[in-house]
Structure 1
C-alpha cells in the first residue's frame, strides 16, 4: 500500500464515504439501518446518517420504507462507465498489434457509448495514415452499426427500429440470410464503394438529425443495409477478387454480452481465400480480447 505521504493529503470525510460503500458492496443482499451501519463501520450515528442521506439523494444508495439502506441504481451506471474506461488493456492492445503486424493493416476496437459508435483503440502499421483517430464517433443508427447488433436478435430489432440516418430499403430475406451466416461464421465482412467509404468521413461527429438534402445525397451512396456485406456462400470460387473495407468480429464481457467490436481495416481487393484467412484471424483476435476482459462467448 502506498503511504499517505507519497500521494498527498488524505480526506477523512471521503474515507468515511468509501468505508460505507465498501461495507455495503461486500453485502449486496443485505440492508442496514443507520444505527447498525454506523456501529459496523465505526462511525457516529449522526455522521453516518448525513452520509447515507446524501448518497441516497444521489441514487448511490436506496432508502427502503423500513429505514434501511442498500446499494442504489446510480452505482450501476458508474460501474458501467468504469468498465468502459478499463476495457482497452495493454494485453488487449498487444493482440491488436499482433494482427496488425501479421497482415500489415490497421486494427481497431470500437464500442457504443451514449448511443454513438466510438473508436476506443487503434493500431496501425508504421507510416500508415488510418484516416480515423481514437475518440472519433458516428451515429448509431441504420445503416451504420450493423456489426454491433448482428449477434443478438433483440439488439438487431432495436437497431432496425431506430430512425435511420439515411433513406433505406431493406431486403428482408437477404438480411435474415446474412445474419444467419455471419453468426455461423463469427464475423462480418463489409465491402464498400469509394462513395461508401466517404460516408463515414462525412458522418463523423454528426448527429442523426441530418438535413433532408444531405440525407438524400448520402442515401445515393448506401441505401440497403445488406448490400455492403460479403457472404461466403455467395462467393465460393476462392480466386475472385473483392474490394473489402472492413472485417469485424464481436468482443464479449463476462455476461456473454457483446461490448465491443474488433475490426480489421482492409481498403483493398482480396480473393475469397484471403478474406477467409483474415476473417478467421480476426475472430481469433476478438476471442483473445474477450478472454483478456474476463469475458466469454455465448454458447
Structure 2
C-alpha cells in the first residue's frame, strides 16, 4: 500500500523549508504565497499558527516573516537525540579556525547520510540537516572502519553501475585504517555532486546518475593514498575525514575538513592530524573507543 501523505502538513513543511533556505531574508504574506503557490488565506493561517508557537517571527512594522527561536530549541533536541554532543560545534569551530576552512560532522541516520553540524568561514552550498542517498559508491567514509557496516554497505544496490577492484579496495581499507583517516580527491563534478544530491530519494534522476558515473566507476576510486606521488607533488583534494566511535567500538560519525585545493602530502598530514584529533575528542565525549 502506498504511503499516506498529508497535504496540509506538506504546506507547513514547504514554508519552513523555504525560510530555512533564505535564513538572512524576510518575506511578506503575498510573496510567500506566490513563491510557494499557496492561496493567501491558507498561507496566512499557517504563518499565524507558526508565529504564535514561536517557530516564526513576524516583524510588527512591515509584517515580514523569518525563522523563530523555538526552532533553536527543537534543533538542539534533535541533535541530542542523534548523540551530537553540544560541545561538538566548539570542537569543529577550533578545527575550522586552525585551517581556515569548513569543518563538518555527519552520520548515517535512517539509512541516509545526514549533515549534523557545520562550521566554516564561507557558504559551501549545503546546510545542517541535509541528507543524501547512502549506497555505493557514496558513503565509503561512513563504513570504512567498521567491518559489519562495510559488508552491509557493499551489499546494497549501487546508485550507478559499478565495477569493484577488490585488490584496490582492500588496499584502501588497510591504509586508511592504519593511518586513521581518509583523503578524497577533488574532481570538477565533485564540486557540485553533494549539493545536487541533497534531499534526493534513493533513486537518483538519470542526469545525476550520469554525473556520478563520470566521477566514479569503482568503489574507492576517489580515495587518495598519501605517498603515491613525490613529496612535493600537489594533488587536488576534496575532503579529509576521520571516524568517531561509540561505546560499542562501532563507527558512529565522521568528522570532515573541506580542502578544495591542491596540497602536498606534507600538508595532507598536517590537515589529517587536526581532523583525527577532533574525531578522537568527540569519540571520548561519546565514551567511545576505536
TM-score (normalised: structure 2): 0.70
**Counterpart-to-counterpart distance in 1, 2:101 and 2:118:** 11
Is 2:137 the partner of 1:108?
A: no
Q: Which residue of 1 aligns with 2:172?
A: 178
CA distance in structure 1 between the aligned counterparts of 2:158 and 2:165, rounded to whole angstroms: 15
Quote the residue 1:240 is aligned against: 233
**d(CA) in 2 for partners of 1:216, 1:87:** 35
Aligned equivalents of 1:154 and 1:120: distance in 2? 23
Gaps of 5+ in 2: 1-76
The one of 61, 64, 81 equivalent to 1:85 is: 81
Question: 5 Å matches for 1:148-159?
Answer: 148-159=142-153
Matches within 5 A, 1:220-231: 220-231=214-225
Q: Which runs of 5+ in 1 are unaligned?
A: 1-80
Asked whether the 8 Å contact 2:193–2:211 carries over to 1, the reply is no
Separation in 1, partners of 2:253, 2:285: 13
Partner of 1:289: 282
Work out the number of aligned pairs and report it: 214
Q: Is the 8 A contact 1:107 1:124 kept in 2?
A: yes
Structure 1 residues 77-118: Cα deviation after superposition (integer angstroms, max 9, x where no partner): xxxx98852522232221111111010010010011110000
Contact 1:192 1:244 (8 Å CA) reproduced: yes
Which residue number in structure 2 is paired with residue 196 of structure 1?
190
* Shift in Å, 1:197: 2.6
Compared with structure 1, are the counterparts of its residues 216 and 129 closer, same or farther at alpha carbon in structure 2 (3 Å cutoff)? closer
Q: Secondary structure at the match of 1:229?
A: coil
Quick one: distance in 2 between partners of 1:124 and 1:211?
30
Deviation at 1:169, TM superposition (A): 1.7
Question: Among 203, 211, 217, which residue is 1:209 paired with?
Answer: 203
Q: Quick one: which of 234, 252, 255 aligns to 2:248?
A: 255
Question: Which of 138, 162, 182 is matched with 1:168 structurally?
Answer: 162
Residues 247, 288 of structure 2: 8 Å contact kept? yes
Partner Cα distance (2:287, 2:187) in 1: 37
Larger radius of gyration: 1
Once the two structures are TM-superposed, the CA of residue 142 in structure 1 deviates from its matched residue by: 0.7
Q: CA deviation at 1:144?
A: 0.7
Q: Is the 8 A contact 1:196 1:222 kept in 2?
A: no
Q: Distance in 2 between matches of 1:271 and 1:216?
A: 31
2:183 & 2:124 partners in 1: Cα distance? 18
| Residue of structure 2 equivalent to 1:10 | none
Matched residue, 1:34: none
Q: Structure 1 residues 211, 192: CA separation in 2 closer, same or farther (over 3 Å shift)? A: same
Deviations 1:119-161 (A, max 9, x none): 0001112xx1121100010001011100011012221121111
The answer as to 2:151 corresponding to 1:146 is: no
Partners in 2 of 1:212 and 1:102 — Cα distance?
40
